[in-house]
Structure 1
Amino acid sequence: ANFDYDNDGDQDLVFFPFNGPIKVFRNDLSGTGNTHWLRVFLDRGNNPFVAPDGIGCKVTIQLGSRQIVRFIDGGSNYASQSELSAFFGLGTATSVNQVTVEWSDGTVSVLNNVVADQAMTVVANFNPATAILQSISPDSVAEGSATFTLSLQGSNFDPASVVRLDGVAVPTTFLSTTLLHAQVAASVVANAGTVNVTVDNAAIGGALSATRTLTVLAPSLGVAGSGLSTLKINGSTGGAPHRVDIALGAPLTITMDQPASNPNPSLFAIWGFVGVPDASSVFTFPGVVGSMAFTPCAAFPAPNTFTLVNTFFQDPCGAFTGALATPFSVSATAPTAPLTFTLQGVVLLAPAGNPLPIFTNGVIAHIR
């Protein structure tokens, strides 16, 4: 185990042999000007959500361009435990730019311009009226997703609690002291990046909670299709992310090419999904080669699905446009408001006269 038993700023060692006497090795550094140090103890104060001595907490120092990290743990030695402090050797540095303590309840303490060669104690802040935000669900969504409900888990929630996204209050529903729901508008997740989520208990005298991060993922559709790249938006299959970017109000053309292996026009269908489907929504159908990234409206009508065209059968969802067979093309003007939708289809091949339905590639239209 290591500790500074003589309080001279260097780490001494104590050994607890399995079958022998305890041995202490005192460390006496003799360098001049290059042995500066900092020793940080943690005190949970009156915070019931932090373990004694800050066990489980993280201490980070910023030393110029370098970051050095220590964790306060409950022991890692045989029959012994190291001193419950975060010790930093600083070399020639006589001060630390910043000391950051990430407490186990999610709160953070920051101290700037800390002088070296001292043992210091950082006390956890605790306001019983401040919400403790532990997790959010989901913690990531696809760029261009529709409005959805975000679940927040934690403690000290109150009917007056307000959820803030990047500092902006959003409609909040109080379900219990440990659960809140917040409405996340489509405009918040319109572009890839991150959104800071906090709970504000100012109405009952509390402060902002610690921050949790909602990640907005760039659209990518790599979970479905058969390799038959016949479906295109503005002449493109979207490349590796299967995404075609379209400006607001710009021309929009959707085509279904004639499969190269088919001598005659082919029956086909194109279905749509508002947003970007995730991997859990993959759809397969007996007798059809490949898979779809979402359940088509013809199989299970839903508010976020639609049928663009269907030449196979009378589609229960109707169709936005008519057609007889491939090749197919329809042109329009993109909306003037941001919108993301996914298209995928099925086409009938006829190898050696044997009809073979096969799912096409999928394409995301990302209108911004």
Structure 2
Amino acid sequence: MKSFVFAVGLAFALAGPARAQMIVSDFDSIKLYTLVNKSDMRVTITNYGAIVTSISVPDRDGKLGDVTLGYNRVEDYINAVDKPYFGAIVGRYGNRIAKGKFSIDGTEYSLATNNNTNHLHGGVIGFDKVVWDANPIHGKGYRGLELSYLAKDMEEGYPGNLQIKVTYKLTDANELSVHYHATTDKATPINLTQHTYFNLKGEGEGTILDHELMLNAKTYTPVDESLIPTGDIPSVTGTPFDFTDSKAIGRDVEQDDQQLKFGLGYDHNFVIDKPLGEMGLAATVFEPTTGRVMEITTTEPGIQFYCGNFLDGRLKGKSGKTYEHRGGFCLETQHYPDSPNQPNFPSAILEPGDTYDTTTIFKFSTRK
């Protein structure tokens, strides 16, 4: 399989400023697409795993920097130890399903147990490991990429032929929009999410513990020792999980707390304070040394905050720097983990005739 090379293949000019463009590097079935907006923000995406390989945004002084962890070669995504899912779309069901089992209408289905005793991120060959069909798109004020994939009935153990389309759009307002659309011919669980690791100081530039995080969530879903939700939805008040007011990620991460011990740090789903299915604010992150700000809005009910607990310096990224412990964080918008087995959680079952339709927007800016 050929490597990514950041050479220009095809360029499509967007009406307006000359710098807004898309660059496509063509290597057989694996392609790398670069979206560029009029302020020179850049997002690169490959149709292998629908992976966002980089996001370059300005700091408070206007200097561009890549704020995502990842690689320059597709081989590195395929062969990475511990399979970190850098930048990928994960599914058919993102996050965990207990014991790899669930039932729909009295029929039990069995999935791969690829995370100790549980099922994680769609199984052995999830959506992060397949080649998607890709179609460049554009419109007023944006450049985009539509990626589609047909997950066949019983692929990785899931019922139903699931037709999926994921659309990335980079706008001139420095927003990266991710829209998910899917239909099925059998009832099936679905929970797609975007698994980018961020470091707003820059990729490979140390830990993320000084980033200041606000989560619009007064409650969360605690887990057992295997990281499966207990079913409870307690308040975050008085716990290390209270991010309702912005605070440094590292402030409470080493507290003597059972939930932090189970996750080896933060690796938990937070319940977003907004009406179910409506677009609303989920999180804001501020990095004080560069002034970069990332704001996340979504139609999803939950967001998984993971602070790079399993990064340990073995992975070397695209700049040649190693990814140290807590060198990146994920904020994965989602339905709650193990929802197919948790009747008090919002349903993640898609029925024939219905449409899975959800959007998440990452907006980048700066402040002093």
The TM-score normalised by the length of structure 2 is 0.24
Higher RCO by CA contacts (8 Å cutoff, separation 6 or greater): 2
Larger Rg: 1
The TM-score normalised by the length of structure 1 is 0.24
